[in-house]
Amino acid sequence: MQKLTARASWKALEAHFEQIKDVHMRDMFEQDSERFKKFSAQMDDILLDFSKNRINDETFKLLCDLARDTGVQERRDHMFSGEPINISEFRPVLHTALRNRSNTPVYVDGENVMPKINRVLAQIRYFSERVRGGHLRGYSGHLITDVVNIGIGGSDLGPHVVCDSMKPYAQRGMNVHFVSNVDPTHLTEILKFVKPEATLFVISSKTFSTQETILNAKSARDWFIRLTANEKAVARHFVAVTSNKKAAAEFGILEENMFEFWDWVGGRYSLWSAIGLPIALYLGMDHFEEMLEGAHAMDLHFKEAPIEKNIPIVLAMLGVWYNNFFDAQSHAVMAYNQYLRRLPAYLQQLDMESNGKTIDREGKRVDYLTGPIIWGETGSNCQHAFFQLLHQGTKPVPADFLIPARSKNPLGNQHCVLLSNYFAQTRALMKGKTEAEARAELEYSGHSEEVIKDVLPHKIFEGNKPTNSILFENLDPRTLGALLAMYEHKVFVQGVVWNINSFDQWGVEYGKQLATDIQRELSSREEAINYDDSTNNLINYCMSLKFTD
Q: Which residues are catalytic, by number?
A: 353, 384, 512
Report, in Å, the least distance between residue 296 CB and ligand F6P.
Answer: 22
Q: Which is nearer to ligand F6P, 216 or 337 (CB)?
A: 216
Angle at 337 between CA 331 and CA 338, to 5 degrees: 105
Q: Judged by CB under 6 A, does residue 350 bind ligand F6P? A: no
Q: How far apart are CA 259 and CA 241, in angstroms?
A: 5
Report, in Å, the least distance between residue 246 CB and ligand F6P.
Answer: 14
Q: Judged by CB under 6 A, does residue 348 bind ligand F6P? A: no
Task: Give the interface segment with ligand F6P, choosing from 202-210, 218-226, 290-298, 472-480 (CB under 6 A).
Answer: 202-210
Q: Which is nearer to ligand F6P, 75 or 206 (CB)?
A: 206
Q: How far apart are CA 243 and CA 223, in angstroms?
A: 26
Burial of residue 520 (number of CB atoms within 10 Å: 0-12, 13-18, 19+): exposed
**Of 207, 392, 434, 474, which one interacts with ligand F6P (CB under 6 A)?**
207
Rg (the chain; Cα; Å)? 26
Q: How far apart are CA 292 and CA 271, in angstroms?
A: 10
Q: Which is nearer to ligand F6P, 144 or 248 (CB)?
A: 248
**Of 153, 196, 278, 432, which one interacts with ligand F6P (CB under 6 A)?**
153
Closest to 441 measured CA to CA, from 454, 415, 460, 424: 460
Q: Which is nearer to ligand F6P, 59 or 354 (CB)?
A: 354
In sign, the C-alpha dihedral spanning 75, 78, 83, 89 is: positive
Q: How far apart are CA 162 and CA 158, in angstroms?
A: 6
Report, in Å, the least distance between residue 148 CB and ligand F6P.
Answer: 16
Q: Judged by CB under 6 A, does residue 213 bind ligand F6P? A: yes
Angle between helices 477-497 and 311-320 (to 10 degrees): 50
Report, in Å, the least distance between residue 493 CB and ligand F6P.
Answer: 20
Q: Which long-range contacts (CB under 8 A, 24 or more apart) does 407-410 make?
A: 408/168, 408/339, 408/474, 408/475, 409/168
Q: Which is nearer to ligand F6P, 155 or 165 (CB)?
A: 155
| Cβ contact 45:472 at 8 Å | yes
Q: Which is nearer to ligand F6P, 70 or 349 (CB)?
A: 349
**Of 56, 205, 426, 469, which one interacts with ligand F6P (CB under 6 A)?**
205
Q: How far apart are CA 383 and CA 521, in angstroms?
A: 46
**Of 206, 221, 236, 478, which one interacts with ligand F6P (CB under 6 A)?**
206
In sign, the C-alpha dihedral spanning 184, 190, 195, 199 is: negative
Q: How far apart are CA 236 and CA 197, in angstroms?
A: 10
Q: How far apart are CA 206 and CA 89, in angstroms?
A: 15
Task: Give the interface segment with ligand F6P, choosing from 46-54, 150-158, 300-308, 412-420 (CB under 6 A).
Answer: 150-158
Report, in Å, the least distance between residue 274 CB and ligand F6P.
Answer: 11
By CB under 6 A, the residues from 243 to 272 that bind ligand F6P are 267-268
Q: Which is nearer to ligand F6P, 241 or 291 (CB)?
A: 241
Q: Judged by CB under 6 A, does residue 154 bind ligand F6P? A: yes
- How many amino acids of this chain bind ligand F6P (CB under 6 A)? 13
Q: What b/e string do you get for 377-411 counting C-beta neighbours within 10 Å, with b at 16 or more?
A: bbbbebbeebbeebbeeeebbbbbbbbbeebbeee
**Of 63, 152, 194, 328, which one interacts with ligand F6P (CB under 6 A)?**
152
Cβ contacts of 484 within 8 Å, gap of 6 or more: 158, 161, 162, 271, 295, 346
Residue 547 identity: F
Q: Which is nearer to ligand F6P, 216 or 323 (CB)?
A: 216
By CB under 6 A, the residues from 495 to 514 that bind ligand F6P are 505, 508
Q: Judged by CB under 6 A, does residue 155 bind ligand F6P? A: yes
Report, in Å, the least distance between residue 203 CB and ligand F6P.
Answer: 9
Q: Judged by CB under 6 A, does residue 278 bind ligand F6P? A: no
Name the site residues for ligand F6P (rule: CB under 6 A): 152-155, 205-207, 210, 213, 267-268, 505, 508
